[in-house]
Amino acid sequence: NAGVMQNPRHLVRRRGQEARLRCSPMKGHSHVYWYRQLPEEGLKFMVYLQKENIIDESGMPKERFSAEFPKEGPSILRIQQVVRGDSAAYFCASSPTGYPTGELFFGEGSRLTVL
Amino acid sequence: EDKVVQSPLSLVVHEGDTVTLNCSYEVTNFRSLLWYKQEKKAPTFLFMLTSSGIEKKSGRLSSILDKKELFSILNITATQTGDSAVYLCAVDPNRDDKIIFGKGTRLHILP
């Protein structure tokens, strides 16, 4: 029973390039959450998606960031024209229901480094 | 603005010691408080607390919530080196499905 799968685990990009981070939720989970963790900081909410719908993107920067969760395939967090400040660990979590019972299942994170 | 504040930010103790981690919060609405343990990989769920004064226990870990004073503590007794991790406190404010995390307490257990 695979957990939440994220890839790539590590990604290095130069300023101005695009970064794509993927998240496959646990089997049977249709709710996905993306969090960003800066060094020495807590997890900060970015976006909550259900299949084919963005439910809440209030934590997403207004520009360069987008997320999707298509009917088929993983959820994707896309960062265009990356800047050094985008360097962080990006965690995906999934839950079986729309209102988390508390037990969010987290992936191992994707660590983005922008040179 | 909703916020979760954890203290201390870091803690170093010797194996066998007992530690208490603190979490205070300010939220407009409250549904539950959550504790997670984060080692080098993904945060793993420890406890969910919804009612005041009811202690939750799992082995050497226990946690309790005070909804009047708006805080929670996480206790670890007889610490082991495997307890070294960042412990994250989070609050579900019953709004927009966003769980708000504190910055975590980095615990290091010396052998």
Taking only the tens place, the pLDDT of each residue in B55-66 is 999 999 999 999
Query: What pLDDT is stored for residue B20 in this prediction?
Result: 98
CA distance A16 to chain B (A): 28
Per-position pLDDT tens, chain A of length 115? 578 999 999 999 999 999 999 999 999 888 899 999 887 677 888 998 988 899 888 889 989 999 999 988 999 999 999 999 999 999 999 988 765 555 678 898 999 999 9
Structure tokens at B13: 């103790």
Share the mean pLDDT of chain B.
90
Probe site for chain B from A92, A103, A104 (most B CB atoms < 10 A): A104
Q: Which residues of chain B have pLDDT under 50?
A: none
Query: What pLDDT is stored for residue B42 in this prediction?
Result: 74
Got the DSSP string for chain A?
Answer: ----EEE-SEEEE-TT--EEEEEEPPTT--EEEEEEE-TT--EEEEEEEETTEEEE-TTS-SSSEEEE--SSS-EEEEE-S--GGG-EEEEEEEESSSS--S-PEE---EEEEE-
Query: What pLDDT is stored for residue B45 in this prediction?
Result: 83
B5 at the A interface (CB within 8 A)? no
Query: What pLDDT is stored for residue B57 in this prediction?
Result: 95
- Nearest in space to A32 (alpha carbons), one of A22, A40, A20: A22
Structure tokens at B88: 């994250």
Out of B48, B88, B103, whose CB is closest to A102? B48
- Nearest in space to A48 (alpha carbons), one of A29, A64, A63: A29
- In chain B, what residues touch A103 (CB-CB under 8 Å)? 45, 48
Structure tokens at A57: 């993107």
